[in-house]
């Protein structure tokens, strides 16, 4: 560690400012701000200030980042009703939990190696996989507009995206403490070239011969005349409405006004696909012109596990939502980002209709086929959805990245245990006995 950087990193009070800076960078990288590249450097200030400190300091830093996220939400444009909602607090708490464990382990690391960086990355990914079962939050949301990261998600799910974010932050934090002559700039350039190469290799969406014409509606007023005015003369085979309760008479009048043979709507608290020819029946799975359509019943994101279980049985997932009206809605933005990542990971199209914003149709490779501006309250989006899903590596093999990172973690534990027992000696320690020899004898010894 160079003297200048070491003094800066250990200065009293520096870790507080660094943690606040990391919190601001994380908030700016998340939707709806969508400055996704900042996620790859967001944790560097906090990690630099936490090197060789304590668990309590690491937990305090994670708490400061969480507090900064909340203040950013309160003063940075997110509506107060959204900030105070229980679901928003669960998401923010989820980010705090995701950060706390990797920070704590990083603060106690004394000896560094490339394997250490990957082991901490493995811990972060496995911890997020476990926490995602209870807290709906993931750092992968920051990359929902990055073609290169969506391409990576098609092979690894969003676990690969999370691993790329943590590995880059940990690597840059480690490089900060190297002497200027030893800074690994070639490695940084190699990472940048890899990301650029992944972006250039982003494949176009496959276009099948047959497609389903879909219209998503973004409005809080589901009167038949209003919907007919929005749809106009557009031809549609599936009309997807926001999650607003309708009676049977209202549904029939609305379908007739929009000239829609199938409608995704909500009745008696249940969302499904409704056909005017069978007014008393609703289904959450059906096939329309050869395109298998699925309407999930859960309102929480991510839905990737439910969609992956169906696999090739689903080509289009129709998601009705109802979000409180606001020009800047955080929960809706996070939900839309998660659905985009799920679409790219599984090769399935996703159509999301909301009352307040972020209504869009996403193709099977994560590209946006139709997007309605979040500030436009009464609008529709039309797109032709491919009839068949795209086969991705993640949809075929599932959570295989978790097995890989678990193997890396086991390897690191094995190496650490052998070093503690004295069976395996680290590189610098192996060279230490040679330093007491005269220079000529040392060179001869190394040569032999």
What's the pLDDT tens digit per position in 344-385?
888 888 888 888 778 888 888 888 888 887 767 788 888 888
Question: Residue 70 in contact with residue 92, Cβ under 8 Å?
Answer: yes
Contact predicate 271/321, CB 8 Å: no
Place of tokens 């995701």: 98
Cα 289–291–294 angle (5° rounding)?
A: 125
Averaged pLDDT, 6-22 = 72
Q: Is 11 within 8 Å of 42 (Cβ atoms)?
A: no
- pLDDT single digits (tens) 396-409: 887 888 888 888 88
Residue 434 clears pLDDT 50, i.e. is over it: no
- The superfamily (CATH) of domain 211-396 is Carbon-nitrogen hydrolase (3.60.110.10)
Whether a cis peptide bond, with omega within 30° of 0, leads into 302 is: yes
**What is the 8-class DSSP label of residue 412?**
H
Neighbours of 14 (CB within 10 A): 15
C-beta separation of 67 from 23 below 8 A: yes
- For range 295-311, the mean pLDDT: 65
Task: Read off φ and ψ for residue 97, nearest 5 degrees.
Answer: -65, -40
Judged against a pLDDT cut of 80, whether residue 144 lies above it is answered with yes
Give the mean model confidence (pLDDT) for residues 171-183: 68
Per the model's pLDDT, the better-predicted residue between 142 and 275 turns out to be 142
Give the chain's mean pLDDT.
Answer: 75
Please choose, from the candidates 158, 150, 168, 142, the residue with its C-alpha nearest in 3D space to the C-alpha of residue 40: 168
Confidence (pTM): 0.80
For the ranges 44-58, 162-176, 371-385, which has the lowest average pLDDT?
Answer: 371-385
- Whether residue 239 has pLDDT greater than 80: yes
CA distance 238 to 381: 12
Buried b (16+ CB within 10 A) or exposed e, 130-163: ebbeebbbbbbbbbbebbbbbbbbbbbbbbbbbb
Residue located via tokens 């305090």: 60
């Amino acid at each position: 560690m160079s003297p200048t950087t070491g003094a800066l990193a250990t200065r009293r009070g520096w870790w507080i400012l660094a943690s606040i800076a990391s919190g601001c960078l994380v908030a700016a990288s998340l939707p709806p701000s969508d400055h996704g590249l900042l996620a790859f450097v967001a944790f560097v200030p906090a990690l630099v200030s936490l090197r060789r400190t304590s668990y309590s300091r690491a937990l305090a830093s994670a708490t400061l980042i969480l507090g900064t996220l909340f203040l950013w939400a309160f003063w940075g444009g997110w509506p107060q009703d959204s900030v105070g909602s229980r679901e928003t607090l669960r998401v923010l708490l989820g980010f705090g939990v995701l950060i706390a464990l990797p920070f704590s382990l990083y603060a106690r690391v004394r000896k560094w190696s490339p394997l250490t960086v990957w082991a901490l990355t493995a811990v972060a990914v496995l911890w997020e996989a476990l926490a995602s079962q209870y807290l709906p939050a993931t750092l992968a949301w920051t990359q929902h507009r990055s073609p290169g990261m969506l391409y990576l998600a098609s092979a690894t799910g969003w676990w690969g995206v999370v691993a790329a974010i943590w590995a880059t932050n940990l690597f840059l934090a480690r490089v900060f403490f190297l002497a200027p002559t030893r800074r690994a700039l070639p490695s940084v350039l190699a990472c940048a070239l890899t990301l650029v190469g992944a972006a250039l290799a982003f494949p176009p969406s496959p276009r099948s011969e047959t497609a389903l014409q879909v219209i998503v509606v973004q409005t809080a007023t589901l009167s038949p005349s209003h919907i007919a005015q929005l749809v106009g003369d557009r031809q549609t085979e599936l009309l997807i409405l926001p999650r607003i309760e309708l009676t049977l008479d209202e549904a029939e009048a609305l379908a007739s006004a929009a000239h829609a043979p199938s409608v995704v709507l909500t009745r008696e608290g249940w969302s499904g696909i409704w056909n005017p020819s069978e007014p008393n029946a609703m289904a959450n799975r059906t096939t329309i012109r050869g395109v298998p359509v699925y309407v999930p019943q859960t309102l929480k994101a991510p839905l990737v596990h439910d969609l992956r279980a169906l696999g090739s049985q689903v080509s289009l997932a129709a998601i009705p939502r109802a979000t409180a009206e606001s020009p800047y809605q955080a929960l809706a933005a996070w939900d839309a980002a998660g659905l985009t990542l799920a679409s790219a990971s599984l090769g399935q199209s996703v159509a999301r209709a909301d009352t307040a914003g972020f209504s869009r149709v996403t193709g099977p490779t994560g590209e946006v086929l139709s997007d309605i501006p979040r500030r436009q309250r009464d609008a529709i989006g039309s797109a032709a959805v491919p009839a068949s899903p795209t086969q991705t590596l993640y949809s075929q093999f599932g959570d295989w990245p978790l097995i890989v990172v678990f193997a890396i973690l086991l390897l690191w534990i094995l190496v650490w245990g052998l070093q503690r027992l004295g069976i395996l000696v680290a590189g610098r320690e192996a060279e230490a006995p040679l330093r007491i020899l005269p220079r000529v004898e040392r060179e001869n010894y190394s040569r032999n």
